[in-house]
Amino acid sequence: MDFDLSEEQRLLKESVDGLLADAYDFDARKKYMKEKGGWSQALWGKLAEQGLLGLPFAETDGGFGAGAVETMIVMEALGKALVVEPYLATVVVAGGFLRHGGSAEQKAKFIPGIIDGSKTFGFAQLEKNSRYDLFDVVTTAKKKGDGWVIDGEKFVVLNGENADTLIVTARTKGGQRDKAGIGVFLVPADAKGVTKKGYPTQDGLHAADITFTNVEVGADAAIGDPENGLPLIERVADEARIALCAEAVGAMDESLKETVEYIKTRKQFGVAIGSFQSLQHRAADMFVALEQARSMSMFATMASDFSDAKERSSAVAAAKVQVGKSLKFVGQQSIQLHGGIGMTMEAKIGHYFKRLTMIENTLGDTDYHLRRVSEGGGLLA
Amino acid sequence: MDLAFTKEEIAFREEVREFFKNNVPPETRRKLQEGRHLSKDEMVTWWRILNKKGWGVTHWPKEYGGTGWTTVQHYIFNEELQSYPAPQPLAFGVSMVGPVIYTFGNEKQKKEYLPRIANVDDWWCQGFSEPGSGSDLASLKTKAERRGDKWIINGQKTWTTLAQHADMIFCLCRTDNNAKKQMGISFIVFSMKSKGVTVRPIQTIDGGHEVNEVFFDDVEVPVENLIGEENKGWDYAKFLLGNERTGIARVGVSKERLRRIRALASKVESGGRPVIEDPAFREKLTACEIELKALELTQLRVVADEGKHGKGKPNPASSVLKIKGSEIQQTTTELLMEIIGPFAAPYDEHGDAGSNESMDWTAQIAPSYFNNRKVSIYGGSNEIQRNIISKAVLGL
């Protein structure tokens, strides 16, 4: 039992923290958000240069063969700096599909572009009525010759407008909520029949609603078994949830720091407002919430390698519940303790709150995951 | 980072489990599971079984009977003990006064007291709180005056847990009225059988008798019963309270109770189905299990940290343990109340006597709910814990 980072992991943390401290203060972020597509190609290039985009990939695929802990370290750092670049969509999600389900040809074709920063991805999964159920899919992929024809509508695809390639979940057989018959397909974003409507999101990212009309792709577009893709989707979604938990811990950590700093310096009635016990206790409760979330983020990180998928899912869902509760409390109270200034677009704290709020609603909110753990028989073995 | 126990640790856990299975008296276990109070005999019998095994004072230095275990082994032992469940060692002797004596006491005191603590030949109680000194403990007024080769002690202590069983008390007494309040306190031990000691029971809202008022009226205590230096008692008290950082979370206790909740909720019916099938109830239970998992991990982080870096600088997460641990314990008792609903009402006046067969299974649930309100009050109330976090961790 050991919660410490290894020497290499410590160095990784130092290097990613250092890079973001130099290149990603609040003003820089505002600048990046104004660039084409809403994020900075130059910054993305720096992440690639430091090897951060290649971390989780096998050395034989040109990566560094790093594990879940390394992703946790990076995501926490990205959360602290409120990074808007598409790391989750590209490295974690698309990277996850390729690593766990991709054929040798698919890996060779797509992974180098991720690692060198030249290509980004979007995960087209959410549908109008699917909410958080990954198996609820009406988009279809019908066999045509060797290849497939995809039809359907997907929503809030992060980085969807800018992605070079979309990873699309589509039904190859069965009804809307059947667990079998779902495939995962690589679709070039500029394929004929793909229409995108892009927009900024509440938390400063970019997403798109995407319509697929008679989109033809080859046989090599399918990742894994096109008739039984759900286990793969669940595995990758779990890895994305784990990454989101770590990102949230980073954002909460920084929110609490900013808030404590603020109440130490803000004076009213002639004293720092942090000298008032009601505020001190609120801050203490925020610390408790943060540490509980940090513990569960670590737990989920270590669960990502559990061999039993049910055990893994239950651990990750539990983490998402704890992180969801904690982030709501820390986020809301950060605004409260900042007072009026916390309500302004100008102050950084509100942007943490918004990112945290969106994290809760990504890939299953607190209630959704609580129900999953509950229906699975609870957490006590 | 690695969550798994080593092979040796897993083997150790098996050894501990096996020992509990073969040695905890079944009646003692049953009573604990049902939240009943144990008799003095039942507790002492068990502690002597533990001591005979060499596990009476596990965390003491080896020379005084400790085990030399790693922090992880201590963690495993406590977890298994709490979740079996078996009675935990008498904290007042084993975790509190014992370490003060072997750290600050003289050779004679070590020889005289330590073996008797380990075997519970003496039952110790704690003389800290006073009617006017709760959270503000340093304002205590109980006085020890030096007269020849004696201390003359006058004053009153309160919330003295199980003083009705006690042979000995360790007491914070004011020995210098002119010093700053923390500086004039001494740590003195003496027999509860001394002339001038009166114990008066306090009945708590659950109907139980766990705590007492203790009065000192010109109690004469030999001068050599001072532990350490005169007027340094506050330092020893702080040492004592900081000694056990992780046990306070009582994760094992809550685990055991959650298992009981699942079992009971599968039996008791409501709306024509077992309570456990009510999604609203089940989600509350699950939420509590998740909180407990998070706390267990937080506790493991503290334990692993202590194992690696020593106890010198506590992991900041350690201050979370008391607050969350007590909240979760209280939630588990609320869930039990929800399961039995209207059957919470009957009050078994005779407590342990089990005078009414029909309410056997529900009898202790409401009292246990009432009684558990204490856990966020004692050991430094949760409000004091928040003060500690805001000052020591956040620098406010």
In this predicted model, what pLDDT tens digit does every residue of B75-100 receive, in sequence order? 899 989 998 999 999 999 999 999 99
Bigger pLDDT: B131 vs B303: B131
Neighbours of A223 (CB within 10 A): 25
What pLDDT score was predicted for residue B355? 46
- Contact of B100 with B227, CB cutoff 8 Å: yes
Report pLDDT for B305: 82
CB pairs under 8 A between A and B: 137
Mean pLDDT of A51-64: 97
Reply yes or no on whether the pLDDT at B357 is more than 80.
no
**For chain A, what is the radius of gyration of the CA atoms?**
21
Contact at 8 Å (CB) between A256 and A379?
A: no
Please state the rounded mean pLDDT for residues B287-306. Answer: 92
Q: What is the mean pLDDT of residues B360-367?
A: 81
Judged against a pLDDT cut of 90, whether residue B364 lies above it is answered with no
Contacts of A295 in chain B (CB under 8 A): 294-295, 297-298, 301, 317
Rounded Cα distance, B387 and B319, in Å: 10
Q: One-letter amino acid identity for A200? A: P
Reported residue count of chain A is 381
Q: What is the pLDDT of residue B244?
A: 61
Least confident interval from A142-151, A249-258, B21-30, B248-257: B248-257
Report A:212-271 residues touching B (Cβ under 8 A).
Answer: 256, 260, 263-264
Residues ≥6 apart with Cβ < 8 Å to A339: A266
The residue in chain A having the minimum alpha-carbon distance to the alpha carbon of residue B307 is: A2
Stretch B253-269: mean pLDDT: 93
pLDDT band with cut points at 50, 70 and 90 for residue B375: very high
Closest-CA residue to A75 (of A59, A94, A89): A89
**How do residues A18-34 score in pLDDT, each as one tens digit?**
999 999 999 999 999 99
- pLDDT category at B360 given cuts 50, 70, 90 is low
| Angle ∠(A243,A247,A251) on CA atoms, nearest 5 | 170
B244 has catalytic annotation: yes
Residue range B16-24: average pLDDT?
Answer: 97
CA distance B289 to B258: 7
Beta-sheet pairing, B168-174 with B185-191: antiparallel
Query: Would the pLDDT of B363 be above 90?
Result: no
- Which residues of A are less than 8 Å from B393 in CB distance? 284, 287
- The CA distance from B334 to B254, in Å, is 12
Please tell me the least confidently modeled range out of A40-54, A84-98, A192-206, B366-380.
B366-380
Instruction: State mean pLDDT over B283-301.
Output: 95
Write down the pLDDT at residue A100.
98
**Rounded mean pLDDT, B243-259:** 84
Q: What is the pLDDT of residue B353?
A: 44
| CA-based nearest residue in chain A for residue B7 | A1
Q: What is the pLDDT of residue A381?
A: 56
Q: Got the DSSP string for A103-124?
A: -HHHHHHHHHHHHTTS--EEEE
Share above pLDDT 70 across residues of chain B, in percent, rounded to a whole number: 94
A window 124-153, beta carbon within 8 A of B: none
List the single residue in B with minimal CA-CA distance to A323: B294
Least confident of A113-117, A233-237, B338-342: B338-342
Q: Which residues contact B270 (CB under 8 A, 6 or more apart)?
A: B278, B341
Task: Write out pLDDT tens, residues B188-206.
Answer: 999 999 999 999 999 999 9
The answer on pLDDT for A259 being more than 70 is: yes
For range B158-166, the mean pLDDT: 96
Q: What is the pTM of this model?
A: 0.93
Distance CA B320, CA B382 (A): 10
Average pLDDT over residues A199-222: 97
Catalytic one of B244, B277, B291, B327: B244
Q: Indicate the average pLDDT of chain A.
A: 97
Contacts of B287 (CB under 8 A, 6+ apart): A321, A370
